[in-house]
Amino acid sequence: MAIIRFKAIEESLHHKPVKYDPPAGLISEYFGMNVFDKKKMQKYLSTEAFNHVMEAIDKGSRIDRKIADQVASGMKAWAIENGATHYTHWFQPLTEGTAEKHDTFIDFKEDGEVIESFSGKLLVQQEPDASSFPSGGIRNTFEARGYTAWDPSSPAFIVGKTLSIPTIFVSYTGEALDHKTPLLKALYAIDKAAVDVCQYFDKDVTKVISTLGWEQEYFLVDEALYQARPDLILTGRTLMGHASAKDQQLEDHYFSSIPERVTAFINEFEIEAYKLGIPVKTRHNEVAPNQFECAPIFEECNLAVDHNVLLMDLMKKVAKHHNFAVLHHEKPFNEINGSGKHCNWSLATNTGVNLLSPGKNPKSNLQFLTFLVNIIKAVYKHADLLRASVTSAGNAHRLGANEAPPAIISVFIGSQLTKMLGQLEKKVSSKKMTPDEKTELKLNIIKVPQILLDNTDRNRTSPFAFTGNKFEFRAVGSSANPAAAMIALNTAVAEQLVEFKKDVDKLINKGVKKDEAIFQIIRQYSIEAKPILFEGNNYSEEWKKEAEKRGLKNITNPVEALDYYLTEKSKKLFTSFDVMSERELEARTHVRWESYTKKIQIESRVLGDLVLNHIVPTAVRYQSELIESAKGLREIFSEKEFKEIASGRLELIREISEHTSYIKAKVNEMIEARKAANKIEDVREKAMAYATKVFPYLNDIRYHVDKLEFIVDDEYWPLPKYRELLFTR
Ligand code: ADP
Ligand code: MG
């Protein structure tokens, strides 16, 4: 009997909604209570120190040691008043998730007395032993030192009893070993490039920030059932499991009422998020059973990324209080929807303008058109890089595999903007007009719809869609740190804007009036980038053919996708904006290939173990029972009657033998494929061997395991089934 499974089911049935009392008062009253935000800085810092920090946030200026000491002392006072005993530099190494090493505030004074101390030196920079973080060969083991350095643009916060200070993480030689360092550089690049372009339209624009509003999808599984699934524990996804007779086909989960147990969990993590200043706003059921989504109000990109990884961590912790395990994996269950992390993205100026919001007059419409077309062109030029940025072992199950979005990057803009770009392409011939009059006329001909927000048609199949006043990059995986996608996107758009300015200035220098020059260039770009625009169904076979005709890449292999980080085009992009050096780029690509290899290696081992010591023995035991009963029948019936009566049983016995023999043979072959792959030195080739030689066995073996699950007596089956995992009451 499958004791563990049935115990887990029984335990899960006892799990009830867990009440969680929110702090007293309105959300706005406790929002950010655990964050050393502007308000608290004003209270705990001298005016001088406060102004320095504000300038560092705004302009990226350095904070000297004296000021850092003041900030540290204010931060410490606030943290201790709020119960903190420890502090940590909190950073995002090239693994998934975050890293922290806690130290207490206590120190000895010269006279031996113990005090709480925290200096500017400790705030600004630390030297964690970094030898166990992935570095892609940048850091030799004999040079294990890495530095974490304070990022003043993301405020410190308290989790539990620890003051957490967001930091970057670099090697002894100054190379980035994290997500944040290149992200900050990419955000700097787009700020500069976009401000320069905004200057054509509005001299008051001195800063442009990139805005990000992510939507985090996830699954919940009862903790007891989760503990009975070694594949979920070790790989984050189910490596086997026959589809539930009912899953998402009735479409009854999407936006339906959230089960009470789940609501209790969501309530608690939302409240904890508010305390940390994370403005979570939306919650709903997703398409698949037990799948949910959480989305905050958008924020400045760097902060939004920090908040996303912080929230993912928080969700895991809070889930435990509610006897849930939260799954951030892109594809925890076969045959039902996977999870993504849509990244809503736009650009906002210091003058309060969203550059992707159409304006009210021709002038601001020209600015809108400028940014729209430049972004489309950037995506066209760097589609392969954007594809690379979202690749991972988990996301490979979504992109170009079983479901949306496809591995072909295209841009959806909706029928109104398509019409508008069509108008833009038309030549306006009017001989006796001044350039200004011409532009004015053209702008009047181009009808920029004023309210796009409510009537941009939604095309849910597009990987990169304009949704009224922002673009939505939908190909990002649910478990990913969104920084990788944001680094690629922001840098690509920065490059495009710089090129745009050059092209426009060239025309201006030739005597073309400014607006006319801008007009001519966006018209030219719009025509050039047209192949990337696609309004149809991205899941269809026709699109694959059409995309090929247009020269758009369909990169389904996750290992190959990473090659596009290392093309001359990508290297030039990242190095010219000083976002990443070639060495950094190569190192992080290596880390991602290595990570792919390790994930598939682990999945393959777990599957091998589980089938050999859970599934095959179970099937054989059930088969023995069938054999015994067949023997019994043979004793009591005549030969002729036996053949009729036992035929079903004999068939089952044969089927079980076929599946188990097949599984055993394939597991052996898979082990050999792994051995061969492990001998390969080259990081990329090894990952490729895992993708093409090892990975296919996972699906192949699983198919037969799932068939066995279907025919073996339910009493014997050792692992919780899909129908048990997926329906929390
Ligand atoms: P869905 O895309 O599922 O329909 P919503 O439209 O509610 O969901 O999602 C909107 C998301 O876009 C939210 O996370 C919101 O914060 C974000 N968003 C809205 N405006 C911007 C903007 N200017 N920049 C970045 N993100 C934005
Ligand atoms: Mg969305």
pLDDT value, residue 348: 98
Q: How far is CA 429 from CA 309, 432, 440, 521, in A?
A: 54, 10, 13, 17
Q: Which residues of the chain are under the pLDDT cut of 70?
A: 1, 130, 139-144, 249-256, 400-405, 427-433, 440-441, 444-457, 729
Handedness of CA 175, 596, 471, 315 (dihedral sign): negative
Atom 1, ligand 1: which residue's CA is nearest?
215
User: In the 8-state DSSP scheme, what is residue 360?
Assistant: S
Please give the Cα distance from 273 to 643 (Å, whole number).
Answer: 66
In tens, the pLDDT along 81-111 reads 999 999 999 999 998 789 888 889 988 888 8
Q: Is residue 14 part of a domain?
A: no
Decide if 549 is inside a domain: yes
In a domain, 1, yes or no: no
Claim to verify: residue 37 and residue 140 sit in the same structural domain: yes
Whether residue 284 is found in the same domain as residue 210:
yes
Confidence (pLDDT) at 680: 98
CATH number, domain with residue 630: 1.20.120.1560
Whether residue 427 is found in the same domain as residue 564: yes
Calpha distance 384→492 (Å, rounded): 11
- CATH number of the domain that residue 496 is part of: 3.30.590.10
So what's the pLDDT on residue 255? 61
How many A from CA of 359 to the centre of ligand 1? 19
Contact indicator for 368, 358 with CB cutoff of 8 Å: yes
- Peptide bond preceding 558: is omega within 30 degrees of 0, i.e. cis? no
Instruction: Examine the domain organization and report whether 191 and 174 are in the same domain.
Output: no
Same domain, 480 and 404: yes
pLDDT of residue 401: 62
Q: Distance from the CA of 472 to the center of ligand 2, in angstroms?
A: 7
- Scanning the structure block, which residue is given the tokens 């649910």? 478
Q: Which of 156, 178, 200 is the last residue of a domain?
A: 178
| Same domain? 221 vs 121 | no
**Closest atom, ligand 1, to C-alpha of 346:** 24
Domain ranges, residue 436: 187-580
Domain-located, residue 635:
yes
Please state the atom number of ligand 1 nearest to the C-alpha of residue 215: 14
Distance 354 CA to ligand 2 centre (A): 19
Q: What is the pTM of this model?
A: 0.95
pLDDT at 3: 84
User: 509, 370 in Cβ contact below 8 A?
Assistant: no
Q: Judge whether 15 lies within some domain.
A: no
Last residue of a domain, one of 550, 580, 610: 580
- Helix, strand, coil tally for the chain in percent (to 5): 50, 15, 35
Cα(293) to ligand 2 centroid in Å equals 10
The answer to whether residue 21 is domain-embedded is no
The closest ligand to the CA of 470 turns out to be: 1
Q: Look at residue 430 in the predicted model and tell me its pLDDT.
A: 54
Domain boundary among 580, 607, 623: 580
Ligand 1 binding site (Cβ under 6 Å of any ligand atom): 211-213, 215, 282, 295, 297-298, 344-346, 354, 469-470, 472
- Is residue 23 included in any domain, yes or no? no
Domain presence at residue 13: no
Task: Report the CATH number that the domain containing residue 132 is assigned in CATH.
Answer: 3.10.20.70
Residues 421 and 276 in one domain: yes
Q: Mark whether 653 and 704 lie in a shared domain.
A: yes
Q: What is the pLDDT of residue 432?
A: 64
Q: Are strands 86-90 and 162-171 parallel, antiparallel or unpaired?
A: parallel
186 CA → ligand 1 middle, Å:
21
Centre of ligand 1 from the C-alpha of residue 206, in Å: 25
Ligand 1: which atom is nearest the Cα of residue 356? 23
Distance, CA 297 to ligand 1 centroid (Å)? 7
Indicate the number of domains in the chain.
3
Residues forming a β-bridge with 729: none
Is 77 exposed, middle or buried, given 0-12, 13-18 or 19+ CB atoms closer than 10 A? middle
Q: Whose CA is nearest to atom 26 of ligand 1?
A: 213
Could you tell me if 698 and 631 lie in one domain? yes
Q: How far apart are CA 570 and CA 585, in angstroms?
A: 9
Judge if 380 and 449 occupy the same domain: yes
Burial class (CB in 10 A: 0-12, 13-18, 19+), 705: buried
Provide the total of helices (H) and of strands (E) in the chain, helices listed first. 27, 17
Residue to probe by mutation, ligand 1, list 282, 298, 371, 469, most atoms within 8 Å of CB? 298
Residues 94, 205 share a domain: no
Which atom number of ligand 1 is nearest to the Cα of residue 282?
A: 7
Residue type (1 letter), 215: E
What's the pLDDT tens digit per position in 576-615? Answer: 999 999 999 999 999 999 999 999 999 999 999 999 999 9
Mark whether 359 and 302 lie in a shared domain.
Answer: yes
160 contact partners, CB below 8 Å, separation of at least 6: none
